[in-house]
Amino acid sequence: MKHSAPILVCLFKAPGIADGLSRCSISERLIMKFMLFLLSITAVSVSASDLEDCTHAAGTYLSGKVMSPPTFKSGNYLEGIELSHTHLLLKADQDGKTYDVAIDNVFADGYDNAGESVPEPLAAIKIGTRLSLCGLPFPGGIHWVHTNCGEKPTRRHPNGWVKQLDAHNQAGENLVGSQKYCKLWPTGHE
């Protein structure tokens, strides 16, 4: 029995995939179906893991594609620190709806309390980037997508995140996990 290269070759013998599969042997088709099945299980388990992690963190999970560039929005001040936000639109995988994502800049590495711009890790997000989000929904959007500074997660104060997804749906580091300014909320967020 021939494997790997001949299986892929049989897919390209004809212009259409269906035509190509019809030129594959039964065993080659079964191997291809099994490989596709394994890929689909892997993608589902990654999403299930993120969903489970977010549920454990008392948040609501969204993943999807960024539809607008990150934009800076100034905010109120707390102890001289501006509580600005970065906003972007995300088309969710879960329901196909587009959500406003409000990200607290103070939790992003590279946050500059004197600047009026999107912090570097968030500025790197581009249209088309895929994100994994855990946070607190509001009508038309999601916020509280950041660390809760080590407090016990609650539905009102989840331990959220913004993570970039790679081509294999693997999530990177939390872009808003900095605890540098947690001292502003000594007994939790309010």
pLDDT in tens, 128-180: 999 999 999 999 999 999 999 999 999 999 999 999 999 999 999 999 999 99
Nearest to 111 by CA among 184, 188, 187: 184
For 183, the 3-state DSSP assignment is: helix
pLDDT band, residue 13 (cuts 50/70/90): very low
Q: What is the pLDDT of residues 31-81, one digit of tens each?
A: 555 544 444 433 433 456 888 999 999 999 999 999 999 999 999 999 999
Helix (H) or strand (E) holding 136: strand 130-138
d(CA 48, CA 165): 14
Smallest CA-to-CA distance from 93 within 124, 132, 54 is with: 132
Q: Give Rg (Cα) of the chain.
A: 21
pLDDT tens per residue across span 177-186? 999 999 998 7
What CATH number does the domain located at 57-184 have?
2.40.50
Q: What is the pTM of this model?
A: 0.73
Asked if 149 and 189 count as a contact pair (C-beta separation under 8 A), the reply is yes
Sorted by sequence, the CB contacts under 8 Å of residue 102 that are 6+ apart come out as 73, 85, 86, 87, 138, 141, 142, 143, 145
Distances (CA, A) of 8 to 3, 21, 38, 39: 9, 10, 16, 16
Say if residues 134 and 160 touch (Cβ distance below 8 Å): yes
Whole-angstrom distance, CA of residue 111 vs CA of residue 68? 21
Considering all CA atoms of the chain, what is the largest pairwise distance in Å, rounded to the nearest integer?
72
